Amino acid sequence: MARRKNWTRRLALGGGAALILGGGFLVSRGKEARIPPQAGTLHRGNAAEPFTIDPHLVDAAWEDPIVGDMIMGLTTEDADARPIPGMAESWQSSPDGLTWTFKLRDATWSDGVPVTADDFVFSWRRVLDPKLAASYAYFLYVVKNAVAVNAGRMPGTALGVKALDARTLEVHLEHPAPYLLEMLTHTSMMPVPRHVVEVKGKDWTRSGTYVGNGAFILKDWVPNDHLTVVKNPRFFDAANVKLERVVFYPTDDYSAALRRMRAGELDTQDRLENNQFGWIKKNMPELLAPVPQLIMDMIQVNRTKKPFDDARVRKALNLAINREAITDRIVPVGYVPAYNIVPPGTANFLGGNAFDFKAMPYPERTAIAQRLMREAGYGPDNRLRTTYMIRTTAAGSNRSVAAALQQMFALIYVDISIIPTDAQIFYKTIQEHDFEICQPGWQADFNDASNFLDIFISGSGNNWGVYSNPDFDKALREAQNDINIQSRGRKLASAEKILLEDQAALPLYFWINANLVRPYVKGWGPNAMDKHRSRWISIDEKARAALFV
């Protein structure tokens, strides 16, 4: 998920000439002389240009770090990405797990207006309003009547959320949700300031108008260059926030980001160029802290377009993917070949599912795939010609992965034309189902297997391939209604098994995170969710200064 752009400050190294860089460094041949940056400022490389900073319209992973610094839900994340009290200072649930009552803390928006329970009622109704067309509206389907409200069959007032008073919120659920506290950290369940949104409409997110309740607030946003947030003095825990400002740079060109990192222009970078992994490991080992991530890359085929409605074609494509060759040679960062949907290490999920061909030698898999394609009407004299859309960056490997897949698919009479696409256009296009084959990624919104399975529910806003199976929907509902963690996990595994049998997606690999973080950046805790709120981060200014003297 990334976007290509033109740098307004392009890094030049070598050549004898010196260049003043935006991060405050004078770079010349053979040495780096430091021009001190503003103390308390963190420069974050952040994958791509955001579509939006409206929490209810966010649907890209790189938007979350920005919005999560400025808006806080009922719960929030600690440095290890575990849910902790946010706007709610306490809560309790009924014995059946269907009713939750949240007590809000005494907090204000950045303009001094109190944050109230009514802000949450307004916000959740807004997310589900069909006119907003929020892609994450389904995220709130756990709330009573949310599905009917989102479909327009019930008014927003029917939603199972009520402000008992200014600081007490009552929430009624459709089914027990033991993971609710993690869900509440998600952007779609964050509040927006009703008193601003109702007056400014969509313009409420502009610089000078944006009002938040988080640790930071918007200072300026120069599209395709940077977005700056500054410390919010009205934040309830402002006394413990160490940074004064954070500058987010849309670093979709990961090679350029690495050069900026080396020059000191960036303090952190959220992805690395895979073909530079060996060099980084040798020359900058202090920057690497690989951690298994709840992120998967997959191939989706559009089941509304022939011949991808044919299970034989989908399985043939799945069989033809040599995942080990991709993870060993193309993305050598420790990525794990994926033969199922839910990543290893997901909470309360034993797993155990895998495609039945996992242990099969690749030549044998290819032969079966060829047979399936011949049965579907294709062969050496009648090849399937189709398009394959990719994000243009995504850890710098998608072009190489696509080229490898092009060769693999050619073995089974499938010729793909690769279409590199800007990430913003990519995700907009696949959400509109305007593709044949594509390679999206999915990052967990909360640590639960249902988060990876929900995107295949019939009608889900992120069901890109238009998968639909009543048996799967039923299996997922049964898991949702089970309050027992162990049996719920088994039911989720049964739902995943249906997806694998249907060839609902073609998983490629599970990610290993390799954030680049300078050692003087403190409080950046590696975690499986890859969440790093700036609230917990500080900078050892002496160590930063010494590094480039």
Query: Taking the chain, what is the end-to-end CA distance rounded to the nearest angstrom?
Result: 36
Share of the chain above pLDDT 70, in %: 91
Smallest CA-to-CA distance from 536 within 521, 523, 519, 520 is with: 523
User: What is the chain's Cα-based Rg?
Assistant: 24
| pLDDT above 70 for 10 | no
Looking at 26-30, 157-161, 255-259, 510-514, which range is the least confident one? Answer: 26-30
What's the mean pLDDT in 422-438?
Answer: 89
pLDDT at 27: 30
Exposed / middle / buried, residue 153 (Cβ in 10 Å: 0-12, 13-18, 19+): exposed
What's the mean pLDDT in 341-370?
Answer: 94
521-533 per-position pLDDT tens digit: 999 988 888 899 9
Tell me if 301 sits within 8 A of 506, measured CB to CB: yes
Distances (CA, A) of 208 to 57, 111, 182, 204, 220: 20, 11, 31, 9, 8
CA distance 536 to 78: 8
Looking at 141-150, 175-184, 190-199, 507-516, which range is the least confident one? Answer: 507-516
| pLDDT above 50 for 95 | yes
pLDDT at 101: 98
pLDDT at 534: 98
Which position has the higher pLDDT, 462 or 407? 407
What's the mean pLDDT in 90-103?
Answer: 96
369-390 per-position pLDDT tens digit: 999 999 999 999 999 999 999 9
pLDDT at 71: 98
Amino acid identity at 341: I
Amino acid identity at 216: F
What's the mean pLDDT in 84-92?
Answer: 98
Place of tokens 């600690």: 78
29-68 per-position pLDDT tens digit: 233 334 456 889 999 999 889 999 999 999 888 999 999 9
Which position has the higher pLDDT, 218 or 513? 218
pTM, two decimals, is: 0.79
Distances (CA, A) of 192 to 196, 329, 531: 8, 45, 21
pLDDT at 206: 94
CA distance 202 to 186: 20
CA distance 88 to 170: 12
pLDDT at 347: 85
Looking at 1-15, 108-122, 325-339, which range is the least confident one? Answer: 1-15
pLDDT at 191: 98
pLDDT at 393: 59
CA distance 190 to 58: 11
| pLDDT above 60 for 448 | yes
Tokens of 305: 């377009």
pLDDT at 16: 24
Q: Where residue 494 falls among pLDDT bands split at 50, 70, 90?
A: very high
pLDDT at 289: 63
CA distance 226 to 247: 7
CA distance 548 to 530: 28
| Max Cα–Cα distance, the chain, nearest Å | 72
- Report the alpha-carbon angle 289-26-246, nearest 5: 50
Place of tokens 């934040």: 235
The residues, any chain, with a CB within 8 Å of residue 36's CB and separated by 6 or more, are: 24, 545
CA distance 248 to 424: 17
Smallest CA-to-CA distance from 413 within 363, 377, 439 is with: 377
Tell me what the pLDDT averaged over the chain comes to: 88
Tell me if 216 sits within 8 A of 234, measured CB to CB: no
Tokens of 486: 């162990």
pLDDT at 194: 97
What's the mean pLDDT in 178-186?
Answer: 93
The residues, any chain, with a CB within 8 Å of residue 282's CB and separated by 6 or more, are: none
| pLDDT above 90 for 301 | yes
CA distance 157 to 149: 9
pLDDT at 293: 87
| pLDDT above 60 for 233 | yes
Q: Where residue 332 falls among pLDDT bands split at 50, 70, 90?
A: low
CA distance 381 to 404: 22
Q: Where residue 183 falls among pLDDT bands split at 50, 70, 90?
A: very high
Q: Where residue 288 falls among pLDDT bands split at 50, 70, 90?
A: low
